[in-house]
Structure 1
Amino acid sequence: MESEAKTYVQTKIKNQSETHLVQRIRPHIELIAALFSGVLILAGWILDRNDLSTASVTAYVLAFVIGGFAKAKEGIEETIANKELNVEMLMIFAAIGSAIIGYWTEGAILIFIFAVSGALETYTMNKSHKEISALMDLQPEEALLIRDGIEKKVHVSHLQIGDLIFIKPGERVPSDGKIVDGSTNLDEAAITGESIPISKGMADEVFAGTVNLNGAITVEITKKNDETLFHKIIQLVQSAQSEKSPSQLFIEKFEGKYVKIVLAVVVLMMFFPHFLLGWSWNETFYRAMILLVVASPCALVASIMPATLSAISNGARKGILFKGGVHLENLSHLKAIAFDKTGTLTKGKPEVTDFIVKTGLNHDEILQKAASIENQSTHPLANAVVKYANKHLQVSFIRPEGLEDVAGWGVKAKIGHESWKIGKAAFIGKDEASSFANGIASKLAQEGKTVVFAQRNEEIVAIIALKDVVRTETKDAINQLKKQGIYTMMLTGDSQTTAYAIASESHVNDFIAECLPEEKVNHLKKLKKDYANVAMVGDGINDAPALATANVGIAMGEGTDVALETADVVLMKNDLPKIAEAIELSRRMNKIVKQNVVFSITVIMILIASNFLQILDLPYGVIGHEGSTILVILNSLRLLRN
């Protein structure tokens, strides 16, 4: 019994090892077959040199079958499915034709190099899908569910909205949700590409696939497993890799007609040179076979797709998600970019820039009392004041009395025997507000800042200036775009004064203020008329109509769901310099595609001309044609590098 158990375990381990080996070999099976066919060709050549013709032909036939199986299968299946001849069929005809006239070695070498180029193309495809596979491996399959005080491991697909899950330090977050207990630092590199951990606490969002670094947290599920941001990123990149660019679609459409023309010319060449030029039948058929090889547009067909896949893969690795090759290709043609202000050029949240206290009063005391009152409000401006106080004070807040929130104006409260008002100038008295500190409020307003006054016992004691601060990287991002020759414009619903201040600080070429969402669409249409190719950058929510109108819509990652659905390009980290990087990647891709197309067409023309002049032999035709295909694919693979 013990012996049987031991045998069972050994068999199981052996089967698992074999399965693992097969999984490791499978991605390289085409290349292995190609290399094995190369060994068979060498064996066939050696056997032929030793006058073992039967054995030599057998080796060549095996080389044909083993090396050409994958591409022949692909070509036949596509021909049946599309009812259209393709490049693979030309190669099959050329190899068979070479064998018919006795050029076994040349035909086998043709199959060998064609198989190597096919393996390289498959490698490019696998490489471009590698990031997706890596991402999919990042999401845990199980989660620790808390229900009725009991912890239970469940598959992530069983999680429902509202469920509570417990995530320990070092574990990956299994699904999107919000923290309801605990605090931690999260590594969000899988989502944003940012390597610096982000601090998270109560009510903060967490995303599937991110890593909980140092604190135990309880998370409430807010999305189903197939609706998480992580899942949508995977779907987005998969979709992008399957969507073809206009150039690729043109080449594929052109390929079918071109193959028919080549076959027609080859058929004519099998007869006309013999009657018109006096070539022998053997020479005529030989030249027809060479034409079949060299006129095949393999390199031309391989000029675009590997480059596009490599560029999309490169962008995904850097947190730049393209929804398809068409958008990647269009980026390089941009002449102008329009930016939303809030959340795009700016941080999207007001911050206190100035806290000016009346001369003779204690700065910290006034700040403490003003912040204590604002701490009772949920208004964004009030939150900014509290945040500012927390940063600059070492004392705790005071509990105010008789708090009254006057909607649209400000807040009233009492602290001890003091009566306080915090709000607009009209709320505390316009005349007194305008004269405070030599009229500094007017100067602050001209700088695009929102001014709030603090009044104690009918006396203005402080003025608070707040502003939606420009992102630190905005200026550099805009300057990079200008260097690329792109016109920049800001579209915002803010006042003329605020828009002018932000535009000046951001370095954009121009701005349009007091702009409603529907008006942004009209301004974009005008930009398209003036500049032809225009992009819109926004947060993907109120900018959705404008993002859809632009030639290329670029969304900031914080727009999450709406951004992923509306835009053509998504910056997973709100990093504006990535736009210039994406444009540069697009330009590199188009440059490499042009190099590939020009090179492949030039090689085909030279080889065809050489064949008609009877100076090109089949071996050199094979090497020239298939070598150009391999070089084109290798050139495209350069886009995988940073």
Structure 2
Amino acid sequence: LEVLSLVGSLERFSKHPLAGAILKAIQAEKAVSHDASKISEPPGQGMQGTVTGHSVQITSRKKLIKQQPDLETQLPPQAGGLECVILIDDQYAGIYRFRDTPRTDGQSFISHLSPRHQIQKTMLVSGDRESEVRYLAEQVGIENVYFSQSPEQKLEIVNAETSQANTIFVGDGINDAPALVAATVGMAFGQNSDVTTEAADVIVMDSSLQKIDEFLHISRRMRRIALQSAIGGMILSMFGMLLAAAGYLPPVAGAISQEVIDVLAVLNALRVAMPPKALTDFNPDHRP
């Protein structure tokens, strides 16, 4: 309980998604929170700080073994799920294990992307270890899987994919910020981090997959209306110029016609402000 209290005192300042699970455990166990100082959470490097005079570090098994190889023998065997290693005063204090579960509508959303939005390739790029990432990918139907990826590696993957086609990257943590900037469209779930919020082009406030579907429909509709106004206006203008060149459209009538064309283009563009009957066709309850 004391370890949980120390870790929780640090995690309440974290933006990592797993911090919420630890804070819930503190509430359930009624552990006491303490003041924390010297807090540091570099992207992809875990978290550390000082709590009641103790140095507390939260890191991964891989990074711990790299930093202190002699501690490897003290660690229990790896098991399924996510884990973080706790060090107190540079001594191994325990491991917290988490089991991630996909969203209930995750599989139906992934299967919805290709036929409805022409998404040709879906990838799961994560900093978690292979067993957990592959487990989640199988649950939602994603075949292209990248695991144990650092923020720099995520950036490389997104840059490579964006050089071949337009990309959408959806992330929710500080580690995703570089990839969010590099993607054609970066979408952030929630406001877990100011860095992520600044890096993203789109912010989904309530972390809903249905909101992503709405955004895709809205953006496609806006693009279609914009093209209609621009291309339609140019075609009508060219037709008017041909009539004027052939002598069928005098100057005054031509000027009036051009103004009418401009007004029609603007009126068509204003249709964007008129919401359609439905902003999404994604049914979260549908199971492929």
TM-score bin (small chain): 0.5 to 0.7
TM-fit CA distance, 1:485: 2.0
Return closer, same or farther for 1:428/1:541 CA change in 2, 3 Å cut-off: closer
Return closer, same or farther for 1:449/1:634 CA change in 2, 3 Å cut-off: same
Task: Return the alpha-carbon distance in structure 2 between the equivalents of residues 521 and 479 of structure 1.
Answer: 25
Question: 1:467 matched to which residue of 2?
Answer: 99
Q: Does 1:534 align with 2:141?
A: no
Cα pair 1:473 1:577 within 8 Å, conserved: no
Higher relative contact order (CA 8 A, sep 6+): 1
Cα pair 2:167 2:185 within 8 Å, conserved: yes
Cα pair 1:476 1:577 within 8 Å, conserved: no
Cα pair 2:191 2:197 within 8 Å, conserved: no
Question: 1:626 matched to which residue of 2?
Answer: 259
Return closer, same or farther for 1:498/1:619 CA change in 2, 3 Å cut-off: same
Return closer, same or farther for 1:428/1:591 CA change in 2, 3 Å cut-off: closer
Alignment of 1:550-569 (within 5 A): 550-569=183-202
Cα pair 1:536 1:550 within 8 Å, conserved: yes
SS for the counterpart of 2:207 is coil
Q: Does 1:512 align with 2:146?
A: yes
Question: 1:285 matched to which residue of 2?
Answer: none
TM-fit CA distance, 1:506: 2.8
SS for the counterpart of 1:570 is strand
Alignment of 1:112-191 (within 5 A): none
TM-fit CA distance, 1:635: 0.9
Letter in 2 for 1:515: Q
Task: Return the alpha-carbon distance in structure 2 between the equivalents of residues 519 and 543 of structure 1.
Answer: 10
Return closer, same or farther for 1:480/1:377 CA change in 2, 3 Å cut-off: farther
TM-fit CA distance, 1:633: 0.9
TM-fit CA distance, 1:552: 2.4
TM-fit CA distance, 1:540: 4.5
SS for the counterpart of 1:587 is helix
SS for the counterpart of 1:559 is coil
Cα pair 1:490 1:511 within 8 Å, conserved: yes
TM-fit CA distance, 1:619: 5.6
Task: Return the alpha-carbon distance in structure 2 between the equivalents of residues 620 and 523 of structure 1.
Answer: 56
SS for the counterpart of 2:211 is helix
TM-fit CA distance, 1:598: 2.2
TM-fit CA distance, 1:465: 8.2
TM-fit CA distance, 1:526: 2.5
Return closer, same or farther for 1:469/1:636 CA change in 2, 3 Å cut-off: same
Consecutive unaligned residues in structure 1, runs of 5 or more: 1-204, 206-341, 352-370, 379-406, 409-425, 431-440, 451-463
Return closer, same or farther for 1:505/1:621 CA change in 2, 3 Å cut-off: same
Question: 1:502 matched to which residue of 2?
Answer: 136
Deviations 1:511-530 (A, max 9, x none): 1111122221122223224x
Alignment of 1:356-395 (within 5 A): 374-376=29-31
Return closer, same or farther for 1:472/1:372 CA change in 2, 3 Å cut-off: closer
Return closer, same or farther for 1:542/1:372 CA change in 2, 3 Å cut-off: closer
Question: 1:589 matched to which residue of 2?
Answer: 222
Alignment of 1:104-503 (within 5 A): 343=17, 349-350=20-21, 374-376=29-31, 445=80, 448=81, 466-483=98-115, 484-486=117-119, 487-503=121-137
Cα pair 2:122 2:144 within 8 Å, conserved: yes
Cα pair 2:174 2:193 within 8 Å, conserved: no
Deviations 1:27-47 (A, max 9, x none): xxxxxxxxxxxxxxxxxxxxx
TM-fit CA distance, 1:498: 0.6
Percent sequence identity is 29
Consecutive unaligned residues in structure 2, runs of 5 or more: 1-11, 34-56, 59-72, 84-95, 276-288
TM-fit CA distance, 1:505: 2.0
Q: Residue 245 of structure 2 is aligned with which of 612, 615, 624?
A: 612
Task: Return the alpha-carbon distance in structure 2 between the equivalents of residues 429 and 593 of structure 1.
Answer: 59
SS for the counterpart of 2:170 is strand
Task: Return the alpha-carbon distance in structure 2 between the equivalents of residues 596 and 429 of structure 1.
Answer: 64
- Please give the TM-score of this superposition, normalised by the length of structure 2: 0.59
Task: Return the alpha-carbon distance in structure 1 between the equivalents of residues 194 and 259 of structure 2.
Answer: 45
Letter in 2 for 1:467: R
- Please give the TM-score of this superposition, normalised by the length of structure 1: 0.29
Question: 1:259 matched to which residue of 2?
Answer: none
Task: Return the alpha-carbon distance in structure 1 between the equivalents of residues 28 and 206 of structure 2.
Answer: 35
The structure where helix makes up a greater share of residues is: 1
Return closer, same or farther for 1:596/1:376 CA change in 2, 3 Å cut-off: closer
Task: Return the alpha-carbon distance in structure 2 between the equivalents of residues 480 and 593 of structure 1.
Answer: 25
